[in-house]
Protein backbone atom coordinates (compact mmCIF):
# COMPACT_ATOMS: atom_id res chain seq x y z
CA UNK A 1 0.00 0.00 0.00
CA UNK A 2 1.45 3.35 -0.96
CA UNK A 3 2.20 5.89 1.74
CA UNK A 4 0.66 8.47 -0.58
CA UNK A 5 -2.72 6.85 -1.21
CA UNK A 6 -4.32 10.03 0.16
CA UNK A 7 -2.11 12.29 -1.94
CA UNK A 8 -3.19 14.67 -4.68
CA UNK A 9 -1.73 14.83 -8.18
CA UNK A 10 1.32 16.64 -6.87
CA UNK A 11 2.10 13.84 -4.40
CA UNK A 12 1.24 15.98 -1.34
CA UNK A 13 -1.09 14.24 1.16
CA UNK A 14 -4.54 15.85 1.23
CA UNK A 15 -4.48 16.21 5.03
CA UNK A 16 -1.54 18.66 4.81
CA UNK A 17 -3.54 21.09 2.68
CA UNK A 18 -6.56 20.67 4.94
CA UNK A 19 -4.51 21.41 8.04
CA UNK A 20 -3.07 24.57 6.53
CA UNK A 21 -6.53 25.76 5.43
CA UNK A 22 -7.86 25.27 8.96
CA UNK A 23 -4.90 27.12 10.43
CA UNK A 24 -5.43 29.98 8.00
CA UNK A 25 -9.12 30.25 8.95
CA UNK A 26 -8.14 30.22 12.60
CA UNK A 27 -5.53 32.95 12.07
CA UNK A 28 -7.95 35.15 10.13
CA UNK A 29 -11.19 34.62 12.06
CA UNK A 30 -10.30 32.96 15.38
CA UNK A 31 -11.73 29.88 17.02
CA UNK A 32 -15.29 31.16 16.78
CA UNK A 33 -15.20 30.56 13.03
CA UNK A 34 -14.68 26.81 13.51
CA UNK A 35 -17.30 24.25 14.52
CA UNK A 36 -16.48 22.01 17.48
CA UNK A 37 -15.06 19.15 15.43
CA UNK A 38 -12.69 21.41 13.45
CA UNK A 39 -11.31 23.07 16.58
CA UNK A 40 -10.82 19.59 18.03
CA UNK A 41 -9.02 18.54 14.82
CA UNK A 42 -6.49 21.30 15.47
CA UNK A 43 -5.97 20.19 19.06
CA UNK A 44 -5.28 16.68 17.79
CA UNK A 45 -2.58 17.89 15.37
CA UNK A 46 -0.05 18.08 18.21
CA UNK A 47 -0.50 14.42 19.11
CA UNK A 48 -1.09 13.08 15.58
CA UNK A 49 1.58 14.57 13.33
CA UNK A 50 0.55 12.69 10.18
CA UNK A 51 -2.83 11.68 8.86
CA UNK A 52 -6.35 13.09 8.80
CA UNK A 53 -7.62 13.94 12.29
CA UNK A 54 -11.16 14.81 11.16
CA UNK A 55 -12.61 11.27 11.56
CA UNK A 56 -11.25 10.97 15.10
CA UNK A 57 -12.48 14.46 16.02
CA UNK A 58 -15.96 13.57 14.79
CA UNK A 59 -15.93 10.26 16.70
CA UNK A 60 -15.04 12.10 19.89
CA UNK A 61 -17.78 14.72 19.39
CA UNK A 62 -20.31 11.98 18.63
CA UNK A 63 -19.32 10.07 21.75
CA UNK A 64 -19.24 12.97 24.21
CA UNK A 65 -21.53 15.57 22.63
CA UNK A 66 -19.46 18.75 22.32
CA UNK A 67 -15.95 20.20 22.37
CA UNK A 68 -16.36 21.13 26.04
CA UNK A 69 -17.43 17.62 26.97
CA UNK A 70 -14.50 16.07 25.10
CA UNK A 71 -12.09 18.37 26.93
CA UNK A 72 -13.68 17.52 30.29
CA UNK A 73 -13.84 13.74 29.80
CA UNK A 74 -11.53 11.59 31.98
CA UNK A 75 -8.54 10.06 30.15
CA UNK A 76 -9.81 6.50 30.58
CA UNK A 77 -13.10 7.36 28.92
CA UNK A 78 -11.33 9.20 26.10
CA UNK A 79 -9.24 6.10 25.45
CA UNK A 80 -12.39 4.04 24.98
CA UNK A 81 -12.75 5.78 21.59
CA UNK A 82 -10.99 4.05 18.70
CA UNK A 83 -7.85 5.97 17.75
CA UNK A 84 -7.30 7.60 21.14
CA UNK A 85 -4.14 6.51 22.93
CA UNK A 86 -2.22 8.04 25.79
CA UNK A 87 -0.66 10.74 23.60
CA UNK A 88 -4.04 11.99 22.35
CA UNK A 89 -5.67 11.79 25.78
CA UNK A 90 -2.75 13.66 27.34
CA UNK A 91 -2.89 16.42 24.72
CA UNK A 92 -6.61 16.89 25.30
CA UNK A 93 -6.12 17.10 29.06
CA UNK A 94 -3.27 19.61 28.64
CA UNK A 95 -5.60 21.90 26.69
CA UNK A 96 -8.30 21.43 29.32
CA UNK A 97 -5.87 22.23 32.14
CA UNK A 98 -4.68 25.35 30.34
CA UNK A 99 -8.26 26.53 29.85
CA UNK A 100 -9.05 25.93 33.53
CA UNK A 101 -5.92 27.82 34.61
CA UNK A 102 -6.96 30.77 32.43
CA UNK A 103 -10.52 30.78 33.74
CA UNK A 104 -9.35 30.51 37.35
CA UNK A 105 -7.12 33.51 36.74
CA UNK A 106 -10.23 35.49 35.84
CA UNK A 107 -11.62 35.06 39.36
CA UNK A 108 -8.47 35.52 41.45
CA UNK A 109 -7.56 38.78 43.14
CA UNK A 110 -10.93 40.39 42.61
CA UNK A 111 -14.16 40.44 44.65
CA UNK A 112 -15.94 37.21 43.85
CA UNK A 113 -19.45 38.61 43.77
CA UNK A 114 -18.49 41.24 41.21
CA UNK A 115 -17.25 38.56 38.82
CA UNK A 116 -20.09 36.11 39.30
CA UNK A 117 -20.48 35.22 35.62
CA UNK A 118 -16.79 34.33 35.44
CA UNK A 119 -17.26 32.14 38.52
CA UNK A 120 -20.18 30.31 36.92
CA UNK A 121 -18.18 29.78 33.72
CA UNK A 122 -15.26 28.43 35.74
CA UNK A 123 -17.21 25.96 37.87
CA UNK A 124 -19.30 24.76 34.93
CA UNK A 125 -16.13 24.07 32.95
CA UNK A 126 -14.59 22.33 35.95
CA UNK A 127 -17.56 20.20 37.00
CA UNK A 128 -20.59 20.22 34.71
CA UNK A 129 -19.41 17.42 32.44
CA UNK A 130 -18.04 15.07 35.09
CA UNK A 131 -19.68 11.65 35.25
CA UNK A 132 -19.53 11.57 39.07
CA UNK A 133 -20.70 14.08 41.66
CA UNK A 134 -18.25 16.48 43.27
CA UNK A 135 -18.78 18.89 46.15
CA UNK A 136 -16.68 22.04 45.89
CA UNK A 137 -16.30 25.04 48.17
CA UNK A 138 -15.02 28.53 47.39
CA UNK A 139 -13.65 30.15 50.56
CA UNK A 140 -13.74 33.96 50.73
CA UNK A 141 -12.17 36.62 52.95
CA UNK A 142 -13.85 39.73 54.35
CA UNK A 143 -13.50 41.47 50.98
CA UNK A 144 -15.12 38.50 49.22
CA UNK A 145 -11.85 37.62 47.51
CA UNK A 146 -10.99 33.99 46.95
CA UNK A 147 -8.84 32.37 49.65
CA UNK A 148 -9.13 28.80 48.43
CA UNK A 149 -10.99 26.68 45.91
CA UNK A 150 -11.26 23.08 47.11
CA UNK A 151 -13.07 19.94 46.08
CA UNK A 152 -14.18 18.53 49.43
CA UNK A 153 -15.82 15.30 48.36
CA UNK A 154 -16.08 12.96 45.37
CA UNK A 155 -19.16 10.81 45.10
CA UNK A 156 -21.02 8.50 42.77
CA UNK A 157 -23.15 9.23 39.73
CA UNK A 158 -25.97 10.58 41.90
CA UNK A 159 -24.69 11.20 45.43
CA UNK A 160 -21.89 12.94 47.29
CA UNK A 161 -21.62 12.69 51.07
CA UNK A 162 -21.38 16.16 52.64
CA UNK A 163 -20.65 16.66 56.33
CA UNK A 164 -21.65 20.00 57.83
CA UNK A 165 -18.99 19.78 60.56
CA UNK A 166 -16.21 19.29 57.99
CA UNK A 167 -17.40 22.22 55.86
CA UNK A 168 -17.46 24.61 58.83
CA UNK A 169 -14.20 23.26 60.26
CA UNK A 170 -12.34 23.86 56.99
CA UNK A 171 -13.74 27.39 56.68
CA UNK A 172 -12.50 28.21 60.19
CA UNK A 173 -9.09 26.69 59.47
CA UNK A 174 -8.70 29.00 56.47
CA UNK A 175 -10.03 32.05 58.29
CA UNK A 176 -12.84 32.42 55.76
CA UNK A 177 -15.62 34.94 56.32
CA UNK A 178 -17.91 33.47 53.67
CA UNK A 179 -18.21 30.47 51.37
CA UNK A 180 -19.94 29.44 48.18
CA UNK A 181 -21.07 25.82 47.94
CA UNK A 182 -20.99 24.16 44.53
CA UNK A 183 -21.77 20.68 43.31
CA UNK A 184 -22.63 19.04 40.02
CA UNK A 185 -25.39 16.77 38.77
CA UNK A 186 -24.01 14.27 36.24
CA UNK A 187 -27.59 13.69 35.04
CA UNK A 188 -27.36 17.15 33.44
CA UNK A 189 -30.39 18.58 35.27
CA UNK A 190 -29.24 21.18 37.85
CA UNK A 191 -32.54 21.24 39.78
CA UNK A 192 -31.92 20.55 43.49
CA UNK A 193 -33.12 17.39 45.19
CA UNK A 194 -34.73 17.39 48.64
CA UNK A 195 -31.46 16.13 50.20
CA UNK A 196 -29.62 19.01 48.47
CA UNK A 197 -32.02 21.50 50.05
CA UNK A 198 -31.83 19.91 53.50
CA UNK A 199 -28.03 19.74 53.42
CA UNK A 200 -27.78 23.39 52.42
CA UNK A 201 -30.08 24.48 55.25
CA UNK A 202 -27.92 22.62 57.79
CA UNK A 203 -24.76 24.36 56.57
CA UNK A 204 -26.44 27.78 56.48
CA UNK A 205 -27.75 27.32 60.05
CA UNK A 206 -24.34 26.17 61.31
CA UNK A 207 -22.61 29.06 59.56
CA UNK A 208 -24.95 31.64 61.06
CA UNK A 209 -24.11 30.46 64.58
CA UNK A 210 -20.40 31.06 63.90
CA UNK A 211 -20.62 34.23 61.82
CA UNK A 212 -19.86 32.45 58.54
CA UNK A 213 -21.88 33.66 55.55
CA UNK A 214 -23.02 31.18 52.93
CA UNK A 215 -23.41 33.37 49.87
CA UNK A 216 -24.89 30.71 47.63
CA UNK A 217 -25.12 27.06 46.74
CA UNK A 218 -24.83 26.53 43.00
CA UNK A 219 -25.62 23.26 41.24
CA UNK A 220 -24.14 22.88 37.76
CA UNK A 221 -25.01 20.46 35.00
CA UNK A 222 -24.90 20.11 31.25
CA UNK A 223 -28.26 21.89 31.02
CA UNK A 224 -27.21 24.96 32.99
CA UNK A 225 -26.94 25.96 36.63
CA UNK A 226 -29.21 26.53 39.63
CA UNK A 227 -28.58 29.18 42.28
CA UNK A 228 -30.15 28.63 45.70
CA UNK A 229 -29.97 32.35 46.46
CA UNK A 230 -31.54 33.44 43.16
CA UNK A 231 -34.34 30.97 43.75
CA UNK A 232 -35.04 32.05 47.32
CA UNK A 233 -33.64 28.92 49.01
CA UNK A 234 -30.98 30.83 50.97
Architecture category of domain 112-227 in CATH = 3-Layer(aba) Sandwich (3.40)
pLDDT for 5 equals 39
Residue 183 phi/psi, 5-degree rounding, is -145, 170
Architecture category of domain 14-100 in CATH = Orthogonal Bundle (1.10)
pLDDT for 15 equals 60
DSSP line for 164-203: HHHHHHHHHHHT-SEEEEEEE-TTS--PPPHHHHHHHHHH
- CA dist 128 and 175 (Å) reads 28
pLDDT for 234 equals 85
pLDDT for 107 equals 67
pLDDT for 206 equals 93
CB atoms within 10 A of CB 76: 8
pLDDT for 69 equals 85
pLDDT for 202 equals 94
- CA dist 120 and 122 (Å) reads 5
pLDDT for 113 equals 65
Residue ranges per structural domain of the chain: 14-100, 112-227
pLDDT tens by residue, 150-198: 888 765 555 567 889 899 999 999 999 999 999 999 888 889 999 899 9
Residues of the chain where predicted confidence (pLDDT) is lower than 70? 1-16, 106-114, 154-160
pLDDT for 110 equals 67
The distance of Cα 76 from the centroid of its chain, to the nearest Å, equals 17
CA angle 114/120/125 to nearest 5° reads 140
CA angle 183/187/185 to nearest 5° reads 5
133: Cβ contacts below 8 Å, ≥ 6 apart: 154, 155, 156, 157, 158, 159, 160, 183, 184, 185, 186
Amino acid sequence: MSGFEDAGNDGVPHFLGHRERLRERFREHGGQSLPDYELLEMVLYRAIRRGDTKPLAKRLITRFGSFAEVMSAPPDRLMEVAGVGEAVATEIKIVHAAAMRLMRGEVLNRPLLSSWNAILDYVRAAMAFSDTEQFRILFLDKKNQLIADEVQQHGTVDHTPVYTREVIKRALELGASAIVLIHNHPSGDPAPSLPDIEMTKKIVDAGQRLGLTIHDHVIVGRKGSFSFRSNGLI
